[in-house]
Structure formats: C-alpha cells, structure tokens
Structure 1
Amino acid sequence: MTSAPPPPPGWSLKEVVPQSQQEAQDAVLGYLKRTLAVLPAGTVLDTKGQPGSGHTAWCEDEPKDPKNVPVHLLVIGDIKVPGDMDPKTLITKVGDTWRSWGWYVFERDGFNKPNQFGYGPDGYRLQIEMSNPPSYPPTLTAISPCFPGTLARDDLRFPMVVSAQ
C-alpha cells in the first residue's frame, strides 16, 4: 500500500464548520462549478442515478444518538463530457486543477484507478475516480465538513444536473 504524498508547501487544514446546510450546499456547488469549468464546454455532473446525492449523511458510520449527530452534505454523480475526452485524461486534468487551487491531492489505493482525492484547506473534499466498467463516465463526489445535525433541512434541493454556468 502506498502512502499519501506530503501536502503542498504551506498547506494546513483549517476546517470551516458550515453554519447552515445552505452554506455547505453553496460551497459544494461552487467547487463543483469551478471543477467543471476546466473541462470541455457542455460538461455536466449528473446526480440523477445516485440516490441520496445532494442530501446530508451522518459523519459517523454508526452514531450512538442518530438524532443528535453531526452530518455532512454529500453529492455524487457522473461526469458527462460531450465528445471523446479520455476518462484518464479527464481525471488527471481535474486533479491538476485542484492542485492549482492549493489543495492536497493524491491517488488513493483501494479505489478504482485512476483516481484523485482532493482535500481543501477549509475541510471540503472532492474525489474523482474511474468507473467500473471503465466505459461508464467517471464519478465525482463532493463532501462538506461536518456540521450540527440540527441544522439539516429536508426542504433544500441540490440540482440534479450541475454545469459550470
């Protein structure tokens, strides 16, 4: 198993706890749009095939008190690129983009390869990985930092399709 490379010089985690689910949603949407903006025009993140995408999830796998547990916003979908961009090239480009933002980015073992896991200094995370089978679009996931579960709302809707615009 390979270990993660060292973080970029000067990188340190100063996790920002979202003060509302709307704040977490706005930040995730902003990072997704910035990511899609470096890909060919018309590229979208399609979350329609992912139940639970755009909603909150527990930060702990098995919380002792499910009614009073921190949650995070989780968005997962397929990156659909018009034309014939090679998925490996796409994944590399996305990882390089996150690095250009000063994020800590590396390929992780135990996931479909190629993959890139990006950790923002504010505690937001983005990951992209090759699908299985590789003929399917790469999967992009966004996760906010944890925030109090009491701030979770059922009336907020995350877009099912996200574009750079």
Structure 2
Amino acid sequence: MKMRYVYLIAPILVIFLLLGAYWLVKTNDRPIPKFEPPEDPLATWSPEEYYRHLQMKPINGKRVHNLLIQRTRQKPGVYLESLLPAMDSAGLKVIHVYHVVVGDDYTPVITSGNDYPYHARNSKHYFNAAIDFRIVDVPMKLRKQIVESCTERLGPRFRVLWERGAKEHLHVELIEP
C-alpha cells in the first residue's frame, strides 16, 4: 500500500485542533464576576469633617489624592494623576477655603494640572507642582477674599496667583518641590 494521501494528514490535524479550540472556548462561558469596590468612608464626610480628620490622623497619599478628585469637578481633559503629594494637600486646603468663603454647596472646578500644552515654558504645571482652579464663576466681591485666604492658609511654601484676563483662574503652585 502506497502512502499517496500522507499530505492530507497535516490539514486534517489542523482542522481538528481548530475545532477543539472552538469547543473549549464555547464550553467556558462563565459570566465575568462584577467587581464592586469597598465604600470609602471619606466620600460621605462633610468638608469640616474631612479637614478635621486630615489634621488628626495620617491618611495615605492615594486616599488624599482620591479625596481631592471627589471634592472637585475637573474640566474635561485635566490630568491630575502625577501630582506631587504636597499639591494634593494644598488642593484640599484650597477647597476648604472655597467652602468657607462661598459655601458648602459650591464645588470647586480644577481647570488644569499637567495637561495644557500652552503654559509658560518653565511652568510648575509641567513638574506636577501646580493646579489651576476656576474662579470666574465666583462673585467678584468674594474672589479677593478667596485669594487672600488661600495665600494665608498655604503659607510661604506655596504661591497663589489670581490670573486675570480671558481665562481667569486661581493658580496654586509649590515654590520648592
């Protein structure tokens, strides 16, 4: 008996392997489990409570950063993930000032982190050491009070600038990172 049909063995094996792989995929149809992150107790605190607790007990940097994100709104496209830890803490102090001056119902808006390509060449934004807050929607008589209170609360380690013009905002930067 001659081996005329030996060349058909390889394609037949490939067909069987493909059918076997298809069968394995089809029989493994378990649902993907739904992940629900544990509830963070910081998300339900009032502004006074979270500020008081920041003063009393240590909170790791990731939770401080998450608290900054939760307590603000961000303009679309704002990148805050690489902020220095000092900027997260400074941002929370600025939020507290907004709440004291404007009221607890006001949610500050962060308009820039390290995301806007048109900052000055050596801007602290590019070193993740600056945040911009929207101030244009705050009544004019309260803006000066916010700037002065932020300057006082943050101390000499930070610079607070009220940048006016077409894109008026509150610029907060770390002087020495």
TM-score (norm 1): 0.40
Bigger fraction of residues in helix: 2
Between the two structures, name the one with larger relative contact order (CA 8 Å, sep ≥ 6). 1
Greater strand content: 1
